[in-house]
Amino acid sequence: MLGPALNGAHGRRDASSAAAEPGNVRFPGPWIALALVVPLLLFLKNPYMLLSPPLHAEDGTQMLAYYYCPRDPGSILRFYNGYVSLVPNAIGYLSLRAPIELAPSLLALVPFVLTGACFLLPFLLRLGGPMSGAGTAALASLLLAALPLGNGPLVANTTYSFWNGLLALALLALAPPAERLPGQIARALVAALLIASHPLSLVMLPLYLVSVVQDVRGRRLRALWTAGLVLAGIVYQLAGVEQEAARMRPPGTLLHLGLRYLVERVGFEAVLGTEARLALYESGRGWVVTLAGTLLMAGVGWLGWRSFRDHARTRGLVLGLGYLILALTFGVVVGRNIRTGLLWSRFGEHYFYVPKALLWVAIVFCAAPVVARLSAGRRRLLAAVVCAYVLAIGYIERARYAVPVEDGRRIAAFVERVADLEAQRGGRRGIEAALERSEGGEIRLQAPAENQACEE
C-alpha cells in the first residue's frame, strides 16, 4: 500500500506494466517451491515444536486450560494482559472444540502454518513492486524463515502468534495494493483481523491513512476499504485495549532507552544474535554491543539512503520500513517502560522480533540494486557467504529453538488421561485435572457440573 501511495500514479502504471514483464513470473511453480521450503526451514529448527509440543508459556494456562471449559464464542473477545487478541483467542477456542488429545498439536500446528504464511508474504505480495524482481522478494521470505530472529514459541505457539500477525500486518501495509476487488476484500478482512489482535497495530494506522489520502480521488473504492481499516484500528484501540494508568518515564529517558534498544536489541541482535549480546555483557564488554549495533544500523541507514536517492521506485518502501522499525521499537519501549528489565533480559526478545525481521527485509531490498551491479562470480561468492552466515548464526542460536521433549510427552500423557475421564463420564462437564510444570505454570483443566458456570 505505502509504496505506490508515496510514488503516485506513475508508480501504479509501472507496477501494472512490470507485472507483465517476463521477470515477474506468474505461473505457480516458484511460489509452490517456496511454500514448501519455508515451512521446512521452520520445521528443521526443531521438529519437536510440532512432534511433541510443550505448550510454552500461556498456551497451557491461558489457552488449553481457559478454553477447555465449554464457553460461548463471545469468549474470543476476552481481555488478556490488557488487550483483546482476536486471532490467537480464536485459534485457542477452535482448537479446544476438537477432542482434547488433539488440542496440544493444534495449538502448535495452526500458528506454525500461519508463521509460514507470514514469511511467504514478501514473495506473494511482490513486496517492492516494480523495483525488485521475484528473486529479491523470494530471498526476503527465505531469510525470514532461515534466520534465528526469535525463538521456538514465536514459530509454533498460539499465544505468541500475534507477533507474527503484527509482522504480517506490516508487510500488508508496505506491499503494493491489490487492484482487483476480490483481492482488496481479502486483504481488508485479513488486515482487520490482524489489527484486532495486537495493541501495537496502532503504529500501522498512519501508513493506511497515507493510502486513503492518495487513493481518495482516483481509487475511491480502495480508499473506502482502507478508511474502514483505519476506523477499525481506532475502535480497537478505544474498546479492545485497556487504558491503564502507567507511571511514564520522562521523555528523555524513553528516548535514550529507545535508541539503546534500537542499536542493541534490533541492530546488533538481528545480525549477530542474542547469544553474542549476552556473552559480551557478561564479560563486561557491553560497549562493544553498543558500538557494533550503532555501526550496523548506520550501514543499513546508508543502504536505505542510497536506494532512496538513486531509485525513485524504492522510496515508498524505504520510508515505510524506516518508519516501522523506529515506531515499533519505540512503541514497545513506551508500552513496556515500567518493565525494562524484561525488555533487556534473555526472555524479552519477542518484543523486538518484528523490528528485527523488518530490518532484514530492508537489508535485502536496499542491497538488491548494489548486488545487481556485481559480476556473476562475485554474486556467487556473496551467495556462498550468506549461506555460511545463516548456517553459523543458526547453529550459535540453536538453543533458542530447543524444545524439552519430556515436557511434550508429559502433556500428551496428561491429555490422554483427561480423554479417558471424558469417555467415562460422557463429556467434559464435571472434569477436573491438573498437571504441574517446572516452568510455565500449572495446567489446570476444569469443567464444572452442568448447573455451574465456567470459572474466569
114-138 burial by CB neighbour count: b if 16+ within 10 A, else e? bbbebbbbbbebbbbbbbbbbebbb
Residue 244 has a pLDDT of 64
pLDDT of residue 130: 62
pLDDT digits (tens, 9 = 90+) for 157-193: 999 999 999 999 999 999 888 778 888 888 889 999 9
The C-alpha cell that represents 427 in the structure block: 463429556
* Strand pairing class (79-80; 83-84): antiparallel
pLDDT tens for the chain, 456 residues: list them: 554 444 433 343 333 333 333 334 344 677 788 899 999 999 999 899 999 998 887 888 889 989 988 888 889 998 887 888 999 999 999 999 999 999 999 999 999 999 999 999 999 888 877 666 788 889 999 999 999 998 888 999 999 999 999 999 999 999 888 778 888 888 889 999 999 999 999 999 998 888 888 776 667 778 888 888 888 889 888 888 876 655 567 778 888 888 999 999 999 999 999 999 989 998 999 899 999 999 999 999 999 898 888 887 788 889 999 999 999 999 888 877 655 566 777 677 788 999 999 999 999 999 988 888 889 999 999 999 999 999 999 999 988 898 888 888 999 999 999 998 988 888 888 888 888 877 767 888 888 877 777 776
**Terminal Cα-to-Cα distance of the chain (whole angstroms):** 41
**Using CA atoms, how far apart are residues 312 and 347, in angstroms rounded to an integer?**
40
Contact 219, 13 (CB under 8 A): no
- Looking at the structure, tell me whether residues 211 and 327 fall in a common domain: no
Same structural domain, 356 and 314:
yes
In a domain, 264, yes or no: yes
My answer on whether 317 and 218 are in the same domain is no
Residues 153, 260 within the same domain: no
| pLDDT at site 339 | 55
Question: Domain range holding 68?
Answer: 1-19+44-243+403-456
Whether residues 74 and 172 share a domain: the answer is yes
Same domain, 280 and 165: no
- Say if residue 13 is in the same domain as residue 154: yes
Closest C-alpha to 104, from 440, 433, 410, 404 = 410
The total of structural domains in the chain comes to 2
Q: How far is 87 from 92, CA to CA, in rounded Å?
A: 9
Question: Which pLDDT does position 335 carry in this prediction?
Answer: 78
Residue 27: what pLDDT?
Answer: 44
Q: Is the dihedral of CA 419, 421, 427, 428 positive or negative?
A: negative
Both 75 and 189 in one domain: the answer is yes
Residues 286 and 352 in one domain: yes
Name the phi and psi angles at 84, rounded to 5: -90, 120
Predicted confidence at residue 359, as pLDDT, reads 96
C-alpha cell read off for 331: 512503541
Q: Is residue 37 part of a domain?
A: no
Residue 378 lies in a domain: no
Q: Has residue 423 been placed in a domain?
A: yes
| 187 lies in the same domain as 319 | no
What pLDDT does 13 receive?
Answer: 37
Contact yes or no for 450/429 (Cβ under 8 A): yes
Region at 370 (left for phi over 0; alpha for psi -120 to 50; beta for the rest): alpha
Rounded distance between C-alpha atoms, residue 266 and residue 329, angstroms: 8
Q: Are residues 219 and 258 in the same domain?
A: no
Q: Could you say which of 325, 357, 372 is where a domain stops? A: 372
Residue 342: what pLDDT?
66
Has residue 34 been placed in a domain? no
Task: Classify residue 444 as exposed, middle or buried by CB count within 10 Å of its CB (0-12, 13-18, 19+).
Answer: middle
- Let me know if residue 397 belongs to a domain: no
